[in-house]
Structures are given as structure tokens and as C-alpha cells.
Amino acid sequence: MANKKTTKIEGTKVMKVMTVEVPQPQLQTETQSVIAALKSMSATEGWAIMVKILNDNIKYLETAILDKIDPSTKQPLTEEEIEICRIKRLLNIELRDTPQNYSNVIKEIGEIPIEYDPYFKTKDAIDRARLTPSADDKGK
């Protein structure tokens, strides 16, 4: 809101002084700050390098899973080795998507989680995840 004052000093002309209230910038909450930091980190060249490495790992593992052959050695893989490749692929996807996933968790619950463990805690959870199509493959 603007206020006007008229001030006259002897021997000078009349001046009108206007004062205006300046709104204070809103401070970010801790959750907003964490989300902004994760978004900022995701835009860095270093994170882009990490994403490329993880995507290359994911492609390598997908090739091994589909062909049932180790792409490096050209040796056939056992069912156990293929299952290990599936789990590694899921973990690489989870790691690659951690900044976005963590931001989403913060937005959903409205606060920073006390404990955040994105990885599977039981074999049953791994089996369920393996049977569920991955939300991955967004072409990242």
C-alpha cells in the first residue's frame, strides 16, 4: 500500500515522497528446498553422465536377459544368472530414477521421510517387482 507524505523544507520546493511496502520473499520450506536441490542436481552434467552409465548398464542387462547370453563373453547364462541380471536391471532403474522418485515421495507425504529405502526388502517383493512391468523405459 502506498503512502504519500508532503514535506516542505524552508527555501526548497515542495516534494512528495511516496513509500511503498515491499512484499517479503517467501522462504522455501525444507521440503521445497530438497525438491529444488534434487531438480537442480538432475540438470547437472555430472548427473547426465551417471544417467548415461546407468542406461548403458540397463541396455546391457536387457540384452543378456533377452538373448540369455552374456554380451561380453558370449557364454550362455543359467536361469539363476538371468534372474540376477533382472534384479540388477531393476536396481539400475531405481538408482537412475531416485531423484525423481524421492521428490515424488516428498510431494505425496508432504514432508521429508525419516527413512527412505527404495530397494526391495524381501524376496517376495523382488518377485512381485519382476512380474510387474517396469515403469522404466521412459527413454531416459
27 pLDDT higher than 80: no
Domain count of the chain?
1
Residue 25 lies in a domain: no
pLDDT in tens, 67-101: 999 999 999 999 999 999 999 999 999 999 999 99
Q: Where are the beta strands (DSSP E) in the chain?
A: 2-7, 15-20
139 pLDDT higher than 50: no
Summarize the confidence of residues 24-43 as an average pLDDT. Answer: 85
Residue 48 lies in a domain: yes
- Would the CA dihedral through 111, 129, 133, 47 be positive or negative? positive
Residue 11 lies in a domain: no
Domain that holds residue 122: 30-130
Give me the phi and psi of 7, to 5 degrees please. -125, 130
DSSP 29: P
pTM over 0.85: no
Residue 12 lies in a domain: no
With cell 544417467, the residue in question is 51
Is 132:68 a contact under the CB 8 Å cutoff?
no
Residue 95 lies in a domain: yes
